[in-house]
Chains A and B, each alone.
Chain A
């Protein structure tokens, strides 16, 4: 059905299952929003399209499913590395540690350059405003526009809600802007090639690594590597105490800092906005938008994780405590915008915020053949016939997440009715002879 989406993705998997720990329970197959997991021979396997949401990681009681938290980057060459942490990092050390302390801690670890993202996030807010004001009155404007920031949401849209791709403005995210500007400015300053400098993103989730490699929104990513907050946490924490340095690395106000929590991105956008977090709610709202609802809203900030990136799978602090810390920072730094509108407008007019891949946002005009449609209808009929044979206990014991998906698997020749644990009973009940 969604053949196009599968081709986007290389088989590189950032979410991996350790079969020696897996006991083949059904929790992960039921949690997966793309129904990508099956139990085969007693072990969970990812067979379908994975959008790196980590729902399976979160539900696995045996910790058999883990996401890769870091990538090879020659850390010996630290002086050429630009470190750019997600703003969530600032919430992970307790109430008394300020963003600048965290950035100085990174500096102490020996990284050459430390670039804050929260200030750029405030710049991005204004770019979003400009884009929407310029486009929302156009005939057939795809309202509401959808934030391009959370990569899991973008993958989800590409896989399950393709008609909504055009709702994502062709703007590059703050993390990419920081990386691009960091590289080009340093290169100019030192008279070196931009690629001499490598950007390491400190991330709350594995999905950032995926969009470094291949993103449907962007041809080329300026990020070179990513490391999970939890991976770098211990060493960074040791480096944060007693920072005496008086270098100022953090420049944003409270709005840029609040990006780590749900509602943080839109807090800086003066339009009719909505913030939705958590995968289940995200899907519910995407469904509504897809049938044409919410057209009176300008912009929706979707975050796959509950409470936003604070709830990311690589965070260390509990999301609600992290939220308390961020809220305190927001109060401390105030909600005054630190960025000048005229400055952003100039950059905007120069094309500074636009991705290098505008066409991907146009809906592909695919004319489906009559044969495909007829085949689709036939397949659905067979699935429904198969479903009538099943007990609808939705137990997952067959290895598929629910009876409907099992019926699909059977229809597609990927599973046999014999795998249904109630099949013997069903045959008797329905009077089916072998």
Chain B
């Protein structure tokens, strides 16, 4: 662990819709507690939630981790599920492989990854067929 940094980890269970979103809420509470500004927290929470829900819906066993540093917050969400065969396609607005059941629950608009891309200062996706998904999102902390 970097000096000055703080690491938080939460596990994510696929298909567990009851607990889904809890990790994001905890991440958000945690950032609020430290005192980051609301706009930054909101962006991080949106990304955390979308990534968490993707693991719940499409992924395998997963973990969300966040490294908090006075200058930068790095959020990583990884799972060992089926992975994304075509990342470029998955990043397109509206593209979704969500099942009809997911859509009934109000998910599957295909806006998750595009939203992450929009809200994170940088996004890196590592994946491939059968290789799980590893997202790395960075957020710059602007201070005076």
Contact = CB atoms under 8 A, between A and B. Distances in A.
B139 interface: no
Q: Is the interface of A mostly helix, strand, loop or mixed?
A: helix
A384 to B, nearest CB: 8
Contacts of B32: 1
A12 interface: no
The contact size tier of chain A is 20 to 34
B20 to A, nearest CB: 11
Contact of B70 (A288, A363, A373): A373
Given A292-B45, A377-B4, A380-B6, A370 B143 contact: yes
A51 to B, nearest CB: 17
Contacts of A373: 34-36, 70, 141, 143
Nearest to B29: A287
Interface in B20-74: 21, 24-25, 28-30, 32-39, 41-42, 45-46, 48-49, 68-71
A288 B49 CA distance: 10
B144 interface: yes
B6 A291 contact: no
Given A291-B24, A367-B144, A163 B38 contact: yes
A411 to B, nearest CB: 12
Interface residues of B, number: 32
Nearest to B25: A287
B49 A293 contact: yes
Interface string A284-308: 0001101111001000000000000
Contact of B33 (A288, A370, A380): A380
Interface centre among A288, A290, A373, A381 (most CB of B within 10 A): A373
Contacts of A287: 25, 28-29
A370 B142 CA distance: 8
Nearest to B38: A163
Contacts of A369: 143-144
Interface string A110-137: 0000000000000000000000000000
A363 B38 contact: yes
Interface centre among A368, A369, A370 (most CB of B within 10 A): A368
A208 B39 CA distance: 31
Contact of B46 (A291, A296, A368, A381): A291
A374 B4 contact: yes
A391 interface: no
A162 interface: yes
Contact of B42 (A288, A292, A377): A292
Contacts, number: 78
Nearest to B28: A291
Interface string A356-400: 000000010011111011101100110000000000000000000
A390 to B, nearest CB: 18
B108 to A, nearest CB: 14
A376 B34 contact: yes
Contact of A381 (B6, B29, B30, B37): B6
Given A374-B70, A377-B70, A367 B143 contact: yes
A290 B37 contact: no
Nearest to A284: B25
A163 B4 contact: no
B49 A163 contact: no
A296 B69 CA distance: 34
B35 A1 contact: yes
Nearest to B45: A291
B37 A368 contact: yes
B25 A291 contact: yes
A376 B143 CA distance: 13
B26 to A, nearest CB: 10
Interface in A280-334: 287-288, 290-293, 296
Given A163-B39, A376-B34, 4 more contacts: A162-B38, A290-B28, A368-B36, A377-B70
24 contacts: A1-B32, A162-B38, A163-B41, A288-B21, A290-B28, A290-B45, A291-B21, A291-B45, A291-B46, A291-B48, A293-B21, A296-B106, A363-B39, A368-B144, A369-B143, A370-B141, A370-B143, A372-B143, A373-B34, A374-B4, A374-B70, A377-B6, A380-B30, A380-B33
Interface of A: 1, 162-163, 287-288, 290-293, 296, 363, 366-370, 372-374, 376-377, 380-381
Q: Which 4 A-B pairs have CB atoms at the shortest separation, nearest pair first?
A: A163-B38, A376-B34, A291-B45, A370-B143
